[in-house]
Structure 1
Amino acid sequence: MAPLTSPTDEQLTRRAQAGETGALGLLLARHQAPMRAVALSLLGYGPDAEDAMQDAALTALRRIGDVRDPAAVGPWLRAIVRNACRMRLRASRETPGLEGLEGLAGLDGLDRLALPGREQALPERVVEQHAMRDWIWGAVEELPQQLQLVLMLRHFSGVSTYQEIAAACEVPVGTVRSRLSQARSKLAQVLVATAAQSHDDTSARVEESRHEAVATLAAAESGTLPREIAERWPTQSQMIGRFAQPGERIHPGPVLCQVLEKGVRQQVRHVVASRDITIWEMDVVNPADLEDPCPPSLVWLMFRRDGRVQKLSVVFPAPPR
């Protein structure tokens, strides 16, 4: 009988590029020690090095298809770790771990993605280029809601700095850091546990949510909510966040109507959707004569149960620098 041998890096990489999720898990496990050595050499011992490792693993999940030389996947993985560390050492403005993918170009032969504008640079668009996106999102949805929320905001939305996430979640920045660390750690565990399972079509859910957002805005402007829209906003829906009144339960409907009565209009820019959390990013158009104009963008942050909105918080992200 021929002796059993472990698959080579090249074999595992090609299998991962063909959509075999377990092969990528084996690659990451095989190269974990040298990847961690790179992180420790740049960031030292501590949570930043571990966070950089988790960011690098998530980036590898999405970009394994970009590897031109499968036999050299080790240097490719270490280059991703170096870039994640450099982003943490860069200017004071904190950049989300899945943003700035263009920065990977030129490092150890990595290819530049065609991301000339913000619309194409959205992390979700990058995820959609790879067959494993549904696996990743399925794992995200397995996380507890608090952890799922900070991960979705940080890595898939425009509300991505620690300060913005803290404001959106109404928790200290330290809590955001802690939850993100927990989320990344649990996500890695869930990915391994769910590699062989079937997963929902993420792109179909996002597209459905985008249609819902457009239909909801149109219905609100017309003053009549079709039954299929009204059913998603039951009487127990609750406004939370800056528009909520202390000690008083408010349905989101009247609050949104007040905004419309001022002539403020919203246009859907970007949608992020899991089963229980929906994020609608909006561009805002104010009337020219409005004395107290709304900020140029806002985010609907919705928590759902069985598709129905239980809570809505409206978040105003900081303007881009």
Structure 2
Amino acid sequence: MVREMMGHPQDPVDDVPLTRAAQGGDVAALGLLLERHRAGMRGVALSILGPGPDVDDVMQDAAVTALRRIGDVRDPRAAGPWLRMIVRNRCRDLLRAARLTEPVAESSLRDIADGPGELLERHAMRDWIWEAIEELSPALRLPLVLRHFTEGVTGYEHIARVCGVPVGTVRSRLAQARAKLAATLEATAAGAHSDARLRTAASWEEARHTLSAAVAGDFGKVLKEDWSPEIALMSGATRMGDAALLERGMDDDLAAGVRQRPVNVAAGRSLAVWEMDIVNPADDPDHCPPSVAWIMTLSGGRVTHLRLFHPVPLRTAVVPPELHGIWPQ
């Protein structure tokens, strides 16, 4: 029956039942949809990158992105072009990261005009995907979440800096993570994991509450009440300080007129990422880089490890000497 649904690979009408089934959480249907369009997707990758191992990386990335964002496809007949667009964007990201091409304006997979509520409804991952992610080891979970669930910490170089490992190790861990994720999806899909959207919504609220408390002078109180008393500030794999250093850095930024605004949240039980836009004061527009990611390891709902990462550094950013390595540039 499933094979009958596949139809002719060039007929977009035959993508409709597979796309709808995949949007309902059918892993096998998504696999069939990807197989139908594999040749076209690979052709796009080869035309942009040429032969080489990067093509396989892009194809693996595209499969995970499709798994995460299949709900974005409003017209099931357009699944093929949508999959090829994912491959095209991943290839261009890869080339830009390697400084082989100039940046090209892209149509984002998310509407930047949407607020957190709309983003949560349109882009929250299926509960079973997050459950499968939780089955990964911390060493595999972190690069996978950064690669596929953030907006600005997706490049191999960025992930390597966050994790404190070489780029080659990032590639290896991503390959392992994707393989293990695929192996656990069907098992986790059968369970009831209805709390993922609530967890994401709660993390959005926590991010807003944390920033509001900081502006009101209560950041230290939030750290004491809501975060682990053993919180460790990390730079790569190196522990740099504790809550006191984090509080001092936040207070210094606020005193300088710097503000942060959450724009994307990815939240699991053991790992959460808050991506922030940074608004600098008008008289010091280069005080801080334009964005920062708070990458948090959780235990029992409390933050135990925090990494702060600026995807776009500023050469002129002003950082107190004692905070170098904590506020990465």
CA distance in 2, matches of 1:226, 1:83: 42
2:226 paired residue number: 232
1:294-305 equivalent positions in 2, closer than 5 A: 294-305=288-299
Cα deviations by residue, 1:242-279 (Å, 9 ceiling, x for unpaired): 8x876x65643333223323332222222221111121
Q: CA deviation at 1:319?
A: 6.3
Confirm whether residue 138 of structure 1 aligns to residue 131 of structure 2: yes
Q: Which amino acid aligns with 1:80?
A: L
1:179-258 to structure 2, matched below 5 A, reads: 179-224=173-218, 230-241=224-235, 251=244, 252-258=246-252
Does structure 1 residue 149 correspond to structure 2 residue 142?
yes
CA contact (8 A) 1:150 1:179 kept: yes
Q: Return 5+ residue gaps in structure 1 as ranges.
A: 104-112
1:51 aligns with 2:51: no
Shift of 1:166: 1.8
Q: Counterpart in 1 of 2:26?
A: 21
**Compared CA separation, residues 184 and 45, structure 1 to 2 (3 A):** farther
Q: CA RMSD in A?
A: 4.2
| Contact 2:19 2:76 survives alignment (8 Å) | no
Structure 2 gap segments, 5+ residues each: 7-13, 99-103, 315-329
String of CA shifts for 1:56-78, please: whole Å, max 9, x gaps: 323443337546459xx8xx39x
Matching residue of 1:159: 153
Give the Å deviation of 1:228.
7.0
SS in 2 for 1:55: helix
Measure the CA separation in 1 of the matches of 2:175 and 2:135. Answer: 16
Asked if 2 retains the 8 angstrom alpha-carbon contact of 1:12 and 1:27, the reply is: no
Once residues 193 and 312 of structure 1 are traced to their aligned partners in structure 2, the CA distance between those partners, rounded to angstroms, is 31
CA displacement at 1:184 relative to structure 2: 1.6
Report what 1:106 is aligned to.
Answer: none
Q: Deviations over 1:8-49 (max 9, x none)?
A: 335962761561514425625865986797589767876434
User: What are the superposed Cα offsets for residues 97-141 of structure 1, whole Å, 9 maximum, x if unpaired?
Assistant: xxx9x77xxxxxxxxx985x535599x94x953796222222222
SS in 2 for 1:171: coil
> Would you say the 8 A contact 1:237–1:310 is kept in 2?
yes
Is this contact kept in 1: 2:207–2:262, CA < 8 A? yes
Instruction: Note the 1:262-277 alignment, pairs <5 A.
Output: 262-277=256-271
In structure 2, the partner of 1:108 is none
Q: Which amino acid aligns with 2:32?
A: L
Rate the CA distance shift 1:48–1:193 in 2: closer, same or farther, 3 A: farther
Task: Write the distance in 1 (CA, Å) between the matches of 2:294 and 2:42.
Answer: 41
